Chains A and B, each alone.
Chain A
Amino acid sequence: MTGRVWELLAVPLRSARRAGLAWGISLAILVGLTVAFWPSFRDQPELADLIDAMPQGLVEAFGLADFNSPEGFLRGNLYAVLVPLLMAVAGVLLMNGQTAADEDAGRMEPYLAQPVTRGGVFLGRVIAVGAWLVVIGLLMLVTQLASDAVVDLEISTARIVDTVVLCLLLGALHAGLAALVAGATGRPGLVLAVGLAVGVGGYVVSALFPLSDILEPWRHVSPWDWALGGDPLTNQAEWWRYAALAGPALALVAMGALAFTRRDVSAA
């Protein structure tokens, strides 16, 4: 029995290897290259003055505050927009590839015709995507810590770990959403549309709503706010932020798996 369970995991792990490594290496390169510019930023206070002269709202929307501190530099260049957005996109694309896209292409059928349960096949794929997201996060984290040391960017390791984990969980939440849509409909176009719309929409809500007095309280509906609203590079993130991302991610996956066991499998 264990051989079967392992195979349900091994198939998608292997099938997502290329995409998973491509995402992990790309994000690691992005982080490494960005950090390499730290010494020249640190030595040019003029840029920070320029940013200080911009309207306060804009500075906050793009996470540019304290741009010449290590925290501000990493937040503005990486962890306010780019890294969380790419993690969300990676989560949606990887999950879509292993679920709805594979089903739609008819490539899930040979596996579903074996003596395994539908829920088992689906969950094997979801767990494999989760594992690849962890690999992506680890590659990014290791590169961040190593390149910080090389260019003397002084920042607490704990804050970096927290931030990367929160970005990873944001990606997992979007992957969970993709799993729900895939499980319920099996339509890859819809999975991408919903997943990417929620990802970008969440950013817009958390970044731009604070600029308006009326909309400001609504910023808290955005998963981006749950993940990064406390500025995890500067302050230790509260425990509930992890729970607010991981809990719904697991619930979405469970609903997706259940929905998948209750409908027709798409024909090729």
Chain B
Amino acid sequence: MAIAPEPLVVEGLVKSYGSVRAVRGIDLAVRAGEVFGFVGPNGAGKSTTIRCILDLLRPTDGLIRVFGQDPRHDGARVRQRVAYVPGELRLPERLTPRQFLTSLGRLRGGFERARLAELAERFKLDLDRRIRSLSSGNRRKVSVLSAFLTDAELLILDEPTGGLDPLMQHEFLRLVRERRAAGTTIFLSSHILSEVQSVADRMAVLRNGTIVAHGTVAEISGLARQRVEVWFETAAPPHLAGLPGIGEPELDGRRFSGVLIGSARPLIDALAGQPITSILINEPDLEEAFLGLYEDEAEERS
């Protein structure tokens, strides 16, 4: 029996616009039934890659296979098995969400009305107000619903939570987990590391059109840098500066700050029992989180 082809394979993908190389040789393999995080700062080439996968853009070089098929030549058939939430939200202003989603459903060969009602209820989206009058968060919900209403085997989500409030982001992540449990493969692009960490199985980090790291979420998270600040009731203990996994240590009276690289355990152990007033570990900014990776990459090149 033939092995079912993987949902998504990308090899050596290059996309240039004139002299600008937006994507500079990307390799990816997404396995059936996993949530794959595609992480990188804005402008790293995430949307360009995704739009190539959907055959909205034509790659300059490289190979793309979706369930073994080439989107360039079997676009309609590929897209029957794929649903997409675009990063840029441009919707028909004069339609209501119900009209728009029904129309997209017809283009896919129909969808279940009951499911539309259920998802609209979960996301608290009014289906009968014109899209023109919706906030960016509500527009995002329309876009998210358009993908989750389908029975596509691969969901490609480009920054799907932008504009959603935290409660709705949470609901979205629940929905992603439900779909994964049902066997759907999910390709999730994001510039928010914590979002991918909380839901993805494996991930790739993209920067300047190339993948600088890929692996399981645990592996990659171990590479991330986070800025830490701790305030003490008394002077900050000086031995914190010498801890393993702490970079750029700074002691300033009752305040200690530094960069946490990899495991937080040595720091937490050292802080146990100390008179701490407050502790702040920032959501890692992607540029900063993978600074180490970028530097390594730069060294390798030179």
Contact = CB atoms under 8 A, between A and B. Distances in A.
Given A106-B90, A107-B90, A115-B80, A265 B106 contact: no
Interface in B68-97: 75-77, 79-80, 83-84, 86, 88, 90-92, 94
B56 A268 contact: no
Interface string A251-262: 000000000001
A117 B75 contact: yes
B110 interface: yes
Interface stretch (A4-12, A34-42, A173-181, A232-240): A4-12
Contacts of B86: 106, 109-110, 113, 268
Contact of A115 (B56, B57, B79): B79
Contact of B106 (A3, A107, A112, A264): A3
A29 B146 CA distance: 42
Contact of B103 (A11, A107, A113, A262): A11
A114 B91 contact: no
B166 interface: no
A56 interface: no
Interface residues of B, number: 30
A10 B92 CA distance: 14
Contacts of B91: 107, 110
Nearest to B110: A3
Given A4-B107, A115-B107, A115-B108, A265 B79 contact: no
B92 to A, nearest CB: 6
Interface string B48-59: 000100111110
B46 to A, nearest CB: 12
B242 interface: no
A234 to B, nearest CB: 44
A114 B110 contact: no
B109 interface: yes
Given A107-B92, A113-B56, A7 B106 contact: yes
B47 interface: yes
B220 interface: no
Contacts of A215: none
Contact of A114 (B47, B79, B88): B79
Q: Max chain A CB contacts within 10 Å: which of B90, B107, B109? A: B107
Closest 4 CB pairs of A and B: A106-B90, A115-B80, A268-B88, A114-B107
Interface of B: 47, 51, 54-58, 75-77, 79-80, 83-84, 86, 88, 90-92, 94, 100, 103-104, 106-110, 143, 146
Given A4-B107, A120-B76, 13 more contacts: A3-B106, A7-B107, A107-B91, A109-B90, A110-B104, A111-B107, A113-B83, A113-B84, A115-B107, A117-B75, A263-B58, A264-B58, A267-B88
